[in-house]
């Protein structure tokens, strides 16, 4: 009743589109949060010949990824207890060091590391070493004798190359240029598209781009992407609403005139944001609108044309932008993708099939 069709050919196309845009740089594909809802196992297997490494969050994602690839796996925001760090080293997972406290615990672990990623706070003020601590961290790592390579990295705060992002990058480059590191990493999806800093050997970190969407809708002309996921759910019943009838919890919708309304098998337990408002959906070539508040298992759609029980409702796809659903829900595409629950069946396809009722 609920399904996400996932086109792995489109995923590979997007990786190659990123490669063409940044031919001299290495791609660290972000597959955290179950590959942005697309299924980590299938995504990694499809990307192994198209990227240079993977980024995940936490030990469990790292271990799952390692079972699927021999490429580098970089683990963000991992725990710093002894058991976790030993497991990471044993499976050749590369930690991101984001504080002196984390670094001190890592260096107390009796293991060696082929590579460490050193996260520097340049202005996002979330995670990362303060600039006054960076030199100390580098010295500790180099003196330890148990780290072969260090890659400094930072994270930009905005989803476009704003003035503040440019200031962040300038601070990062100023420090990197004064150091002896041969490689570094700053470019997330937004910076991949808009930054002119294309240094050879740099690691770029695409996330949303891999899955066929730009961070901002006005960036779509910058790269040839194909959306990887299309989301569908079926009509369960059709109600005849009279003028003045209300729909759903809280009676937030009141019919101004008689019309048909479809109850659709997709609710907030499936990942539909409860705050969704005036979102348009497709029913074949027809358009409907979400009305009222979604419940746990269902949403209600205003029908302007004929439909029947069992017909498929199209929430987003290559012809119906994820950005519309996100904007109608007062959120971002990332949240829509990553909150899709296990109740939504993932169906892996080679080409988009038109769903017939």
Torsion of CA 74, 77, 80, 82, to 10 degrees: -40
Q: What is the pTM of this model?
A: 0.93
Specify the number of domains making up the chain.
2
From 26, 32, 54, 102, the catalytic residue: 32
| 10-residue averages of pLDDT along the chain (357 residues) | 97 97 95 98 98 97 98 93 94 96 94 94 92 92 92 90 89 86 90 82 94 94 96 97 94 95 97 93 96 96 95 97 96 96 94 44
Active-site entry in 45, 108, 148, 249: 249
Output the average pLDDT for the chain. Answer: 93
Q: Do 166 and 118 have their domain in common?
A: yes
Whether residues 41 and 69 share a domain: the answer is yes
Q: What is the CA angle 191-332-117, rounded to 5?
A: 40
DSSP annotation of 163 reads H
**Which residue, 178, 213, 248, sits at the end of a domain?**
213
Among 185, 213, 241, the domain-final residue is 213
Q: Is residue 22 a contact partner of residue 198, using CB atoms and an 8 Å limit?
A: yes
Q: The domain containing residue 142 runs over which residues?
A: 8-213
Phi, psi of 76 (to 5 degrees): -90, 150
31 contacts 40 by C-beta, under 8 angstroms: yes
Read off the CATH number of the domain in which 235 is found. 2.40.37.10
Burial 59-83 (b: 16+ CB within 10 A, else e): bebbbbbbebbebbbbbbebebeee
**Are 164 and 290 in the same domain?**
no
Q: Are residues 150 and 111 in the same domain?
A: yes
Are 241 and 175 in a shared domain? no
Could you confirm whether 249 is annotated as catalytic? Answer: yes
Catalytic annotation on 3? no
pLDDT in the model for residue 356: 40
Residues 201 and 262 in one domain: no
* In a shared domain, residues 185 and 240: no
Q: Which of 132, 127, 175 is nearest to 150 (CA)?
A: 175
Bridge pairing between strands 203-204 and 299-303: unpaired
Residue with tokens 């890592």: 106
Domain identity same for 201 and 342: no
- What are residue 142's phi and psi, to 5 degrees? -70, -35
Do 182 and 236 reside in the same domain of the chain?
no
The whole-number pLDDT of residue 352 equals 47
In a domain, 354, yes or no: no
Examine the domain organization and report whether 259 and 206 are in the same domain.
no
Domain boundary among 213, 245, 280: 213
**For position 340, what pLDDT does the model report?**
97
Identify whether residues 184 and 244 lie together within a single domain. no
For residue 275, being part of any structural domain is answered with yes
Residue 219, in any domain of the structure: no
CATH number of the domain encompassing residue 184: 3.20.20.10
Q: Do 131 and 103 belong to one domain?
A: yes
For tokens 């029908």, name the residue. Answer: 303
CA distance to 80, 131, 152, 164, 195, per residue, from 124 (Å) = 22, 13, 16, 10, 17
| Residue in 234, 238, 231 with CA at minimum distance from that of residue 306 | 238
């Amino acid at each position: 009743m609920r399904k996400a069709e996932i086109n792995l050919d489109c995923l590979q196309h997007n990786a190659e589109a990123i490669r063409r845009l940044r031919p001299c740089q290495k791609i660290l594909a972000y597959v955290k949060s179950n590959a942005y809802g697309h299924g980590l196992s299938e995504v990694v297997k499809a990307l192994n010949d198209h990227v240079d490494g993977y980024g995940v969050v936490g030990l469990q994602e790292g271990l799952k990824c390692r079972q699927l690839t021999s490429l580098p796996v970089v683990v963000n925001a991992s725990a710093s207890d002894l058991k976790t760090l030993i497991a990471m080293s044993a499976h050749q997972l590369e930690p991101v060091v984001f504080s002196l406290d984390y670094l001190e615990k890592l260096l107390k672990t009796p293991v060696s590391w082929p590579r460490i990623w050193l996260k520097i706070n340049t202005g996002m003020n979330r995670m990362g070493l303060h600039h006054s601590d960076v030199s100390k961290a580098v010295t500790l790592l180099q003196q330890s004798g148990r780290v072969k390579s260090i890659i400094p990295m930072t994270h930009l705060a905005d989803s476009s190359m704003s003035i503040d992002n440019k200031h962040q990058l300038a601070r990062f480059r100023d420090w990197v240029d004064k150091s002896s590191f041969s490689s570094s990493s700053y470019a997330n999806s937004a910076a991949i598209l808009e930054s002119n800093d294309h240094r050879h050997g740099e690691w770029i970190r695409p996330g949303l781009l891999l899955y066929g969407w730009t961070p901002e809708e006005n960036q779509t002309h910058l790269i040839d992407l194909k959306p990887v996921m299309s989301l569908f759910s079926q009509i369960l019943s059709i109600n005849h609403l009279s003028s003045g009838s209300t729909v759903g919890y809280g009676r937030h919708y009141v019919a101004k005139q008689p019309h048909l309304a479809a109850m659709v098998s997709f609710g907030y337990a499936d990942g539909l944001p409860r705050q969704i408002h005036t979102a348009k959906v497709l029913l074949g070539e027809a358009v409907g609108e979400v009305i009222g508040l979604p419940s746990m298992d269902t949403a209600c759609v205003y029908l302007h044309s004929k439909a029947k029980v069992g017909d498929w409702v199209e929430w987003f796809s290559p012809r119906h932008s994820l950005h519309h659903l996100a904007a109608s829900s007062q959120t971002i595409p990332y949240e829509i993708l990553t909150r899709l629950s296990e109740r939504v069946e993932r169906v892996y396809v080679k080409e988009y099939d038109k769903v017939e009722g």
